[in-house]
């Protein structure tokens, strides 16, 4: 059971964060929602609420990208704030067990996420 949860968490982390090396575009809301439904065993009501949260996040991110244009000054911090709001809103929808699973997923995502100032190596350019 624990291995299944860990495997699911890793899959979700990969899908939610995307591959920094090969995925130019983040997964769609539909893909994110599908994975969250499976990993967290969401009810239809929860899934609908989370879908709304994901759409709101996507809209905010699109607006930020449009506003920032070619300038990336402060973009990382602004995006981090949008994501923190998304996570907080998702947690409001989840029950205790789901929150625990989500926290494990988040922990895995954080391990795989580049830190501020770090840039992942492009594919095929390992030293």
pLDDT one-digit tens code per residue, 46-98: 999 999 999 999 999 888 888 877 677 777 788 889 999 999 999 999 999 99
Residue pair 15/108 in contact (Cβ under 8 Å)? The answer is no
Report pLDDT for 47: 95
Residue 23, pLDDT score? 42
Q: Does residue 87 contact residue 62 with C-beta atoms inside 8 Å?
A: no
The confidence band for 119, taking pLDDT boundaries of 50, 70 and 90, is low
pTM over 0.85: no
Instruction: Tell me if 118 is assigned to some domain.
Output: no
Residue range(s) defining the domain that contains residue 64: 2-112
In a domain, 44, yes or no: yes
Q: What is the pLDDT of residue 108?
A: 83
- What is the chain's mean pLDDT, rounded? 79
Determine the Cα–Cα distance for residues 76 and 117; give it in Å rounded to an integer: 10
Q: Would you tell me how many other CB atoms lie within 10 Å of the CB of residue 67?
A: 10
Instruction: Give me the pLDDT at residue 105, please.
Output: 86
Give domain status of residue 59, yes or no.
yes
Q: What percent of the chain has pLDDT over 90?
A: 40
The predicted pLDDT at position 96 comes to 95
Whether 37 is covered by a domain: the verdict is yes
Count up the domains in the chain and report the number.
1
């Amino acid at each position: 059971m624990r291995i299944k949860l860990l495997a699911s968490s890793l899959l979700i982390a990969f899908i939610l964060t995307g591959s920094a090396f090969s995925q130019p575009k983040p997964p769609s809301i539909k893909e994110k929602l599908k994975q969250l439904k499976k990993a967290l065993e969401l009810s239809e009501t929860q899934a609908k609420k989370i879908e709304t949260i994901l759409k709101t996040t996507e809209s905010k991110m699109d607006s930020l990208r449009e506003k920032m244009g070619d300038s990336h000054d402060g973009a990382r911090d602004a995006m981090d704030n949008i994501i923190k709001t998304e996570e907080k809103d998702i947690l409001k929808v989840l029950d205790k067990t789901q929150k625990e699973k989500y926290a494990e997923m988040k922990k895995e995502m954080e391990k795989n996420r580049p830190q501020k100032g770090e840039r992942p190596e492009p594919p095929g350019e390992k030293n």
